[in-house]
Amino acid sequence: MRDWQTFVRTHLPLTGVRPAREARLIGEVAAQLEDLYRDAILRGATDEEADRLAREHVADWNQLAADLAGVDRAARVPPIEQRVEAAVARRSRFRPVWIALATVQQNLRRATRGLTRRPGVAAVLILTLALGIGANSAIFGAVDAILLRPLPYEQADRLVNLFEHNRARGVSREDVRSTTTPTGSARPGSSMGRPPASTSRPPSPAWPGRAGL
Amino acid sequence: MFTREIKKGSTELLVLSLLEERARHGYEIGKLIELRSGGRLTYSLLYPALLKLEARGWIKGRWVEKSGERRRCFYRLTSEGRAVLARQKQAWADHVDAIKLIIEGDHA
């Protein structure tokens, strides 16, 4: 009897099929041809007739190889798509979630393929995005520090700015910490602090004039 | 007798149905289809279909070596395959009924 394994291996042009799968497919097809051969012998065929029957069983080896390779390729779908198929088959209530995830993955894959196909365009896009994000971050950082973030003091909304104005001498000074808030909580180097208990406190005799907020 | 399209559309259902009773190998499935259809349905090789069904998780193949026999891959129905088979049987019956209603016309 013919070595059907070798026969199938030489006739079935399986390209792009995983090696483990290839060995299994060749084994299975060879087993079937061998079964055909044995059945023919049992039915009374001669060795030559049985051999011919088994050899001619597959009419188009190339078509068979293409069918098998196609199924093997389809079987290599990413796990998420398998999950979608399973969810649809089971009519799971999580179908929309899996379908949405698969769509996102599909879009990402398509985008990656497009970008790798045109690396120049990809570089310009990525650089533009990077600059845009960087500029946005810088502007937001400045706006946040200047306008949005509260000052690092307790009850920052009650902070006041004190100043004095001496009409007689015609001078003004803004840093009145030492005279108007001797026990004030202003931090060194800052003219701001908690407002005194009474803002109508009389000004220092050395500075007859107006004090204001 | 039947076109390739008709056969292709029913292969899955036929294979799943034959595996409902017990695990079988590819050649046995092909022979049973031919036998039970009175020779009207023949498949030279069912492996593309078997491979597809296995990839979907509806059947599972396992190599078995019995004494005095060659090593064979036996396919059995998975629980998921069983559920799919039940749905496909119902869908197929509904489809055939609908087709009959159309092609047989109004004989009332």
pLDDT digits (tens, 9 = 90+) for A83-115: 787 788 778 888 888 888 888 988 998 888 888
| Nearest alpha-carbon partner for A4 in B67, B71, B31, B61 | B71
Tell me the nearest-neighbour CA distance from A68 into chain B, angstroms. 5
Count CB-CB contacts under 10 A for residue A93: 8
Ordered alpha helix ranges (H), A56-146: 61-75, 79-90, 95-117, 119-143
In a domain, B70, yes or no: yes
Query: Given this model, what pLDDT does residue A196 score?
Result: 46
> By residue range, what is the domain housing residue A161?
157-183+194-212
Query: Given this model, what pLDDT does residue A78 score?
Result: 67
In a domain, A29, yes or no: yes
pLDDT digits (tens, 9 = 90+) for B64-79: 887 777 788 899 999 9
In a domain, A88, yes or no: no
**B72 vs A: CB within 8 A:** yes
Q: What is the separation, in whole angstroms, between the first and last Cα of chain B?
A: 31
Q: What is the pTM of this model?
A: 0.54
Phi, psi of B60 (to 5 degrees): -135, 130
Q: What is the mean pLDDT of residues A45-55?
A: 90
Lowest pLDDT segment from A17-26, A82-91, A180-189, B7-16: A180-189
Query: Given this model, what pLDDT does residue A180 score?
Result: 44
Query: Given this model, what pLDDT does residue A186 score?
Result: 45
> By residue range, what is the domain housing residue B70?
4-103
Contact B70 A34 (CB under 8 A): yes
3-state secondary structure of A56: coil
Number of domains within chain A: 2
Number of domains within chain B: 1
In a domain, B108, yes or no: no
Q: Give CA torsion, residues A137, A142, A143, A148, to 10 deg.
A: 110
Query: Given this model, what pLDDT does residue B3 score?
Result: 64
**B83 vs A: CB within 8 A:** yes
Last residue of a domain, one of A75, A109, A125: A75
Contact B27 A32 (CB under 8 A): yes
What distance in Å separates the CA atoms of residue A19 and residue B92, rounded to the nearest whole number?
A: 37
Contact A29 B45 (CB under 8 A): yes
Percent of chain B whose pLDDT exceeds 90: 33
CA atoms within 13 A on the CB side of B67: 0
Residues 6+ apart with CB under 8 A from A15: A65, A69
Structure tokens at B27: 């050649």
pLDDT digits (tens, 9 = 90+) for A129-175: 999 999 999 999 999 988 888 888 888 888 888 888 888 888 887 76
Selected for mutation to probe chain B from A28, A34, A35, A84 (highest B CB count within 10 Å) is A28
In a domain, B51, yes or no: yes
Higher pLDDT, B7 or B17: B17
Query: Given this model, what pLDDT does residue B90 score?
Result: 92
In a domain, B25, yes or no: yes
Strand order across the A171-173 sheet: A171-173, A163-166, A210-212
Strand order across the B24-25 sheet: B24-25, B72-77, B59-64
Q: Give CA torsion, residues A63, A65, A68, A71, to 10 deg.
A: -70
What distance in Å separates the CA atoms of residue A26 and residue A17, rounded to the nearest whole number?
A: 11
CATH of the domain at B10: 1.10.10.10
Phi, psi of B18 (to 5 degrees): -70, -25
Last residue of a domain, one of A75, A91, A107: A75
Per the listing, tokens 């008709």 go with B6
Structure tokens at B49: 């279909």
Residue A206 has pLDDT above 70, yes or no: no
In a domain, B93, yes or no: yes
What distance in Å separates the CA atoms of residue A89 and residue A100, rounded to the nearest whole number?
A: 16
What residue type is assigned to position B50 of the chain? Answer: L
Reported as a pLDDT band with limits 50, 70 and 90, residue A177 is low
Cβ neighbours of A85 in B, within 8 Å: 56
Query: Given this model, what pLDDT does residue B1 score?
Result: 57
* H or E segment to which residue B11 belongs: helix B4-21
3-state secondary structure of B16: helix
Cβ neighbours of B80 in A, within 8 Å: 86, 89-90
What residue type is assigned to position A207 of the chain? Answer: W
Is the separation of the CB atoms in B47 and A29 below 8 Å? yes
Last residue of a domain, one of A47, A75, A103: A75
Percent of chain B whose pLDDT exceeds 70: 90
